Amino acid sequence: MDISKFESLPTELWLHILSYLSSFDLFKAFFRINNKRIQQMIDSQSFLLNTKLISYSEMNQIFVMHSYLLELRTIILSNSCSSSAFYNYWTKNLPPMSITPKVKQLILLNASYYIYGLVDSLLIPLSVGNSLEYLHLIFQCPDRTYMMFITFLIQAQISFHTMIFEIEKDWYCDREVVYSSLSELKNLHWSSTVQLTLTIQFPFEMIFILETNAIPFLEHLYITVEQEQLRIKPYLDAPPPQIQFCESDIRQMTDGTRLQTLVLRHLALYNVIILIRSFNMPLLNKLTLVDIFDETLMHCEEFGQIINHKHLPCLKEFYFLIYFPGHLYEAFEKICQHI
């Protein structure tokens, strides 16, 4: 092979060189290059725009590079000036898909910054035509802003194949929470979602998520529970929930026949047992339990007995992390020897 010319370098070396360039630099350097092989390599790249790494002056260049916008597959928004400029430009060109028709993934690093208008101005238009497949929103904590966004999304009845609502900081503490803020969960209908990561306030809200036809194609579920106990306070603006996290309500209302992956985080061990005993998951092959707690060890033996092929016939991977008081360690070891 003639390697006296730059364009004659092996494909492997070209791909290595391209990996060091941002999609913006890549596009500026090689757009419409008069070389079919190199152009094919450029076209094979997944064009990603991370607005956090783009200066304001570069963003103004992007606005006039319509061919670059047409190639974007992933867009990452933050709370930077260039990110705000792109968001305003994107949402003012309705529908947004007219300038970014190939975008598949949207990631918001500071979702609270865009909470107002995000659903109406961007997510609803992006849901038309089923182009967007992956939505990843990062919130600092599960505060009212987070709950408000979930409510907006439920009311709009739009969903995407993968929806990840990530919380950066855990709030495992006794704080005042108006539990009615997620009352819209009872109206949940996300018909396109296959994978979901969500933080909820109380265990009973899990029933709304797992309810029959609420998320009919759900296969992979990652749930964090912020508070184990519901403390009813007389000044709350809504009646207490009628649904309980109990075997009868779970059996009557839920459907887990398509579920293949389940990750539960911050839940009492006895509630884990209730869920496994009453929730039908015939296809579940991976179960992960994180930050599960037990104060007495009363439920450990039963826990070991229900993790079997009778309750979970397709289970292949099982991981768990259980917390319990230190003085019970020796008793816990004895229980484990008999499980």
pLDDT of residue 315: 96
With respect to residue 280, please indicate whether it lies within any of the assigned structural domains: yes
Q: Are residues 305 and 240 in the same domain?
A: no
pLDDT of residue 76: 95
Q: Are residues 251 and 286 in the same domain?
A: no
With respect to residue 98, please indicate whether it lies within any of the assigned structural domains: no
With respect to residue 8, please indicate whether it lies within any of the assigned structural domains: no
Q: Are residues 163 and 238 in the same domain?
A: yes
Residues 270-309 have pLDDT tens digits of: 999 999 999 999 999 999 999 998 888 888 888 888 888 8
With respect to residue 58, please indicate whether it lies within any of the assigned structural domains: no
Q: Is the torsion defined by CA of 59, 52, 17, 68 positive or negative?
A: negative
Between the CA atoms of 291, 295, 298 and 302, what dihedral angle is there, to the nearest 10 degrees?
Answer: -10
pLDDT of residue 180: 45
Q: Are residues 292 and 250 in the same domain?
A: no
Residues 41-56 have pLDDT tens digits of: 666 666 889 998 889 9
Residues in CB range of 326: below 8 A, 6 or more apart: none
Q: Give the residue numbers spanning the domain of 289.
A: 263-339
Residues 100-138 have pLDDT tens digits of: 888 999 999 989 888 888 888 889 888 887 689 999 999
Chosen domain end from 238, 255, 272: 255
Number of domains composing the chain: 2
pLDDT of residue 178: 45
With respect to residue 96, please indicate whether it lies within any of the assigned structural domains: no
Q: Are residues 296 and 334 in the same domain?
A: yes
With respect to residue 118, please indicate whether it lies within any of the assigned structural domains: no
Residue numbers in the chain where pLDDT is lower than 50: 172-175, 177-180, 230, 232-236
Q: Are residues 202 and 218 in the same domain?
A: yes
pLDDT of residue 299: 83
Average pLDDT, the chain: 83
